[in-house]
Amino acid sequence: MDTPGRAPDTHLDGGALFRAHASFAAGFLRRLGVEAAELDDAVQEVFLIAHRRGGFVVEAAQPTTWLAEIALRVASGLRRSRRRRDGTAAAAPAPESGATPFEALAAAESLARVQQALDTLSLEHRAVFILFEIEGASCESIAAGMGIPLGTVYSRLHAARRGFQDAHARLADEAPAAARPGARKEAV
Amino acid sequence: MSKGPPLRLRDDPTAGRALREDLARASAGAFAGYDVAAGLAKFEKTVGAGGPGRGGGAATAGGKTLLGAALKGALLGVAALGGAAVIGDRSPTPVSTLAAPVASAVAPAKLAGEVRSTPPPVAVAEPPPTPRSLETTRPRVVDLPAPSGAGSASSTEPAPPPEPPAVVVAPAATPAPEGDPLAAEMAQLARARVAQDRDPAAALALTEEGSRLFPRGLFAQEREAIAIVALFRIGRVPEGRARGQAFLAAYPRSSFAERVGKLTAGGATLHR
């Protein structure tokens, strides 16, 4: 059944999705634990699935949360195959370029802590946490994009936050004081 | 009953400072470790070579059957979906986030042959497209407490670091393309992308060069979007607006249309 009144330009085909959201998908996949060596194929896979589904029609979800659901499935498949292979963990995404060396180091340490804390979460909890806390998506968009009730988003987010905060606190305690973000002003 | 969206941890003063700072850093900027141009070329080659076509209509946000298949029904049944989603405020901006070096992207050839009629290389169960009749079902909002205090979900992005002039990309002339023209175009476009934030004039010059070198190139649309943004950034607003309007007329469904439209309509509100 067609949706009455749907504007024709609210449809994004695979190519348009790729242009606009490949960076998002790549970053999301890396945070889900996809290794750098797997990233290219994984991104291709996400958008080929999106293409097979006929692209995206802007309705309740956003393209990013819709793609995130696909990416979660791809990451889950990769994780299963990797676990069978060797079980290595993914490295943190590379920090942005353009900062001073010290800022780059501090950013890299931050990203590493975030990634390590994320790695303690289940994929489902991790996905919701990333989308809400890092990508800035709304809970409603996450629910619509991932195909879960809003209450489930809240409950996953609640559990994910608890796990993330616990893990982050442990990691921050382990980090040497000089490497913590608050110490960076001394060197700039 | 909790009202309003939950507060993000990076904005929550009750969360630890280190945690908030780490999350703010993780949230700042788009992921730059992926070469979108190379990936797009590979994707379009795959699709254009007879890759998997549309599976019976456009997918939409509903997708209630999708996660159920993926996660084997854990936690979910046939919950109703939809609802008035608010756009994620960190959706990547197509023009400004494509700053990865082209050379890093090597396109393994295995995918192209596999996707035509077989399942993807990773074991992902792909359910059939969601029937449209199910997609308009509104969500049953469960009355659960929000994870954190109710407050504004808006976040304050940390200011980008000062940009060192030493890394400004000079608009050096690119030699005429040799060998693989697609690779040459991607490399040339990558230089324009890298330049666009730090030196928009150079980015503009590179887009013009790209148009000369690749008049029938694959990335004309993206090149023009970069040029339009650059024109606004260097203050050539009327020209930017005129080209923006032409862009919107030529590519009304472009993924860059939203940003170009905002620039064209609003003028000088540029953000990175």
Are A131 and A50 in contact by the 8 Å Cβ rule? The answer is no
More confident residue, B257 or A178: B257
This model's pTM is above 0.80: no
Q: Is B65 on the interface with A (CB under 8 A)?
A: yes
Residue bearing tokens 């330009």: A9
Cβ contacts of residue B166 below 8 Å, gap of 6+? none
Q: Which residue type occupies B45?
A: K
- Whether B52 shows a pLDDT value over 70: the answer reads no
Tell me the C-alpha distance between A27 and A90, whole Å: 12
Which of A169-178, B39-48, B65-74, B163-172 reaches the highest mean pLDDT? B39-48
Strand partners, B6: B150
Residue bearing tokens 């309003």: B4
| pLDDT-flagged residues of chain A (< 70) | 1-10, 60, 82-104, 175-188
pLDDT at A70: 92
Q: Taking Cα atoms as reference points, which of A95, A103, A101, A16 lies closest to residue A54?
A: A16
How is residue A124 written in tokens?
């489902």
Strand partners, A98: none
pLDDT, mean over chain B: 60
Q: Which of residues 60-79 of A touch B (CB under 8 A)?
A: 60-66, 69, 72-74, 76-78
Q: Which of A32-36, B142-146, B218-222 has the lowest mean pLDDT?
A: B142-146
Residue of B nearest to A115 (CA): B26
Give the ipTM of the model, two decimals please: 0.74
Sheet holding A56-57, edge to edge: A11-12, A56-57, B59-60
Q: Which of residues 241-270 of B touch A (CB under 8 A)?
A: 252-257
| Chain B residues touching residue A26 (CB < 8 angstroms) | 31, 33-34, 39
Q: Taking Cα atoms as reference points, which of A20, A102, A22, A128 lies closest to residue B32?
A: A22
User: What are B78-125's pLDDT values in tens digits?
Assistant: 232 233 232 233 333 333 333 333 333 333 333 333 333 333 344 444
pLDDT at A103: 63
User: What are B146-200's pLDDT values in tens digits?
Assistant: 333 333 333 333 344 444 433 344 445 555 555 667 677 777 887 887 777 778 8
Residue of A nearest to B73 (CA): A148
Q: Could you give the angle at which helices A101-119 and A150-174 cross, rounded to 10 degrees?
A: 120
Residue of B nearest to A166 (CA): B19
Q: Mutation target for B interface from A21, A40, A153: give the one with most B CBs within 10 A.
A: A40
Tell me the C-alpha distance between B199 and A70, whole Å: 36
More confident residue, B100 or B237: B237
pLDDT at A93: 54
| Chain A residues touching residue B22 (CB < 8 angstroms) | 110-111, 113-114, 168, 181
The phi, psi pair for A11, rounded to 5°, reads -100, 130
- Whether B262 shows a pLDDT value over 80: the answer reads yes
DSSP E strand boundaries for chain B? 59-60
User: What are A97-107's pLDDT values in tens digits?
Assistant: 555 666 667 77
